[in-house]
């Protein structure tokens, strides 16, 4: 229950007038308990490790995603940590300030979780079901395409060009998403297809 009270001596040296009180006054518990030096429990123990690629720039750093639960095994999985993959030839485990905080974008408060609709003239989003949203979109596409696709130009040449609906594609989706997007958008005849590479 005793401690090295060198500070007491210090206070004397400094000439300050102080009052004595008990050890417990500072909130100390059992001093022996204080000997239990310990490091924090390693937080990745018993997690699932999955290899992925950073979603930001095109250095495309290899990353390791640690989750509680295993998606590949059909489980619900919550991502608890992300860090660089030391085996990756480009980044060798390093990450930039964006990549090092990837977990935060996965769990951002700005993540969208439900389809929503903002109706004309209103000042809010309302929730909507997937079915309703997708049906509305399909209807709008067909109506506009039927009304506005240009089948032939003035010279009578078939052009099959639909310019009154446009599509901006992503820059971080997979190649596979990109191909499916290309395929469906072009099949409809959309000319105004573009992606972030333009800027």
Partner 1 sequence: MDPNLDSPRTAAANPPIQPMPANLGAGDVIRASAMPDLAPPQRQLTPVAKLIDVSKCIGCKACQSACAEWNDTVPPIEENVGSYQNPSDLGPEMFTLMRFSEYENPNGDFEWLIRKDGCMHCTDPGCLKACPAPGAIVQYSNGIVDFIHENCIGCGYCVTGCPFNIPRVSKTDHKSYKCTLCSDRVAVGQGPACAKACPTQAIVFGHKDDMIAHAEERVADLKSRGYENAGIYDPAGVGGTHVFYVLHHADQPALYSNLPEDPRISPVVEGWKGITKKVGLAAIGIAAVGSILHGLLGRANRVTAEDDREAEEYVEHSLPPGRS
Partner 2 sequence: MTNPWTDIRNTDLVVVMGGNAAEAHPCGFKWVTEAKAHRGAKLIVVDPRFTRTASVSDYYAPIRPGSDITFLMAMINWMIQNDKVQWEYVKNFTNAAFIVKDEFGWSDGLFSGYDPEKRDYDKSSWDYVMGDDGFAQVDMTLQHPRCVWNLLKEHVSRYTPELVQQICGTPKDRFLHIAQMIGECSAPDKTMTSMYALGWTQHSKGAQNIRGMAMLQLILGNIGVRGGGMNALRGHSNIQGLTDIGLMSNLIPGYLNIPTEKEVDWTTYMSSRSFKPLRPGQTSYWQNYSKFMVSFLKAMWGDAATAENDWAFEWLPKLDVPGYDILRMFELMKAGKITNYFCQGFNPLLAFPNRAKLTEALSKLQLLVVMDPLETETARFWENHGEHNDVDSAAIQTEVIQLPTTCFAEDDGSLVNSGRWLQWHWAAGTPPGQARRDTWIMSQIFLRVKKLYETEGGVLPEPIVNLTWDYADPNEPTAEELAKEMNGRALSDVHDLKDTTKLLTPAGKQLVNFSQYRDDGSTMGACWIFSGSWTEDGNMMARRDNTDPDDAGMYPNWTYAWPLNRRVLYNRASADLKGKPWDASRKLMEWNGEKWTGYDVPDIAPTSKPDEVGPFIMNQEGTSRLFTRGMMRDGPFPTHMEPFESPIANPFNAQMRGNPVARVFADDAAQFATSDEFPFVATSYRLTEHFHYWTKNNRINAALQPEFFVEISEELAALKGITLGGWVRVWSKRGSVKAKALVTKRLKPLQCGDKTVYVVGIPLHWGFVGAARKGWGPNSLTPFVGDANVETPEFKAFLVNIEPATGEAVS
Residues between 99 and 128 with contacts to partner 2, criterion CB under 8 A? 99, 101-102, 104-106, 108-123, 125, 128
Task: Tell me the window of 45-53, 111-119, 123-131, 171-179 that interacts with partner 1 (CB under 8 A).
Answer: 45-53
C-alpha span between 14 and 7 (Å, rounded): 10
CA distances from 123 to 110, 118, 126, 162 (A): 18, 8, 10, 31
Instruction: Count the site residues for partner 2 by CB under 8 A.
Output: 120
Cα–Cα distance for residue pair 45/43, rounded to 1 Å:
6
For the bound state, the minimum distance from the C-beta of residue 194 to partner 2, rounded and expressed in Å, comes to 5
Contact call for residue 77 and partner 1 (CB under 8 A)? no
Interaction pattern, residues 50-69, with partner 1; x per rule: CB under 8 A: --------------x-x---
- Contact assessment for residue 38 and residue 72, using Cβ atoms and an 8 Å cutoff: no
- Residue 175 binds partner 2, judged by CB under 8 A: yes
Which candidate, 131, 71, 134, 74, places its Cα nearest to that of 106? 71
149 binds, among partner 2, partner 1, none (CB under 5 to 8 A by kind): partner 2
The angle at the Cα of 38, spanning 32 to 40, to the nearest 5 degrees, equals 145
For residue 147, state whether it binds partner 1 (rule: CB under 8 A): no
CB 21 within 8 A of CB 28: no
Task: By CB under 8 A, tell whether 8 contacts partner 1.
Answer: yes
Instruction: Give CA–CA dist 11/3, Å, rounded.
Output: 16
**In angstroms, what is the minimal distance from the CB of 76 to partner 1?**
18
Q: Is residue 2 a contact residue for partner 1 (CB under 8 A)?
A: yes
Asked if residue 38 binds partner 2 (CB under 8 A), the reply is no
Cβ atoms of 165 and 192 within 8 Å: the answer is yes
What residue ranges bind partner 1 (CB under 8 A)? 2-11, 13-14, 16-28, 31, 33-49, 64, 66, 81-87, 91-101, 103-104
């Amino acid at each position: 229950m005793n401690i090295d009270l060198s500070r007491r001596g210090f206070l004397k040296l400094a000439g300050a007038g102080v009052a004595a009180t008990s050890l417990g006054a500072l909130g100390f518990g059992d001093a022996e308990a204080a000997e239990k030096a310990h490091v924090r429990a390693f937080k990745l123990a018993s997690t699932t490790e999955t290899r992925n690629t950073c979603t930001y720039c095109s250095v495309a750093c290899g990353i390791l995603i640690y989750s509680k639960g295993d998606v590949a095994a059909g489980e619900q999985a919550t991502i608890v940590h992300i860090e660089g993959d030391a085996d990756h030839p480009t980044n060798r485990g390093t990450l930039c300030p964006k990549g090092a905080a990837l977990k935060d974008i996965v769990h951002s408060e700005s993540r969208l979780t439900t389809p929503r609709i903002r109706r004309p003239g209103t000042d809010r989003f309302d929730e909507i079901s997937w079915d309703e949203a997708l049906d509305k979109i399909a209807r709008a596409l067909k109506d506009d395409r039927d009304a506005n696709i240009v089948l032939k130009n003035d010279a009578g040449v078939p052009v099959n060009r639909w310019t009154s609906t446009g599509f901006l594609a992503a820059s971080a989706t997979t190649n596979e998403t990109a191909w499916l997007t290309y395929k469906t958008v072009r099949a409809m005849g959309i000319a105004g297809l573009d992606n972030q590479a333009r800027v």
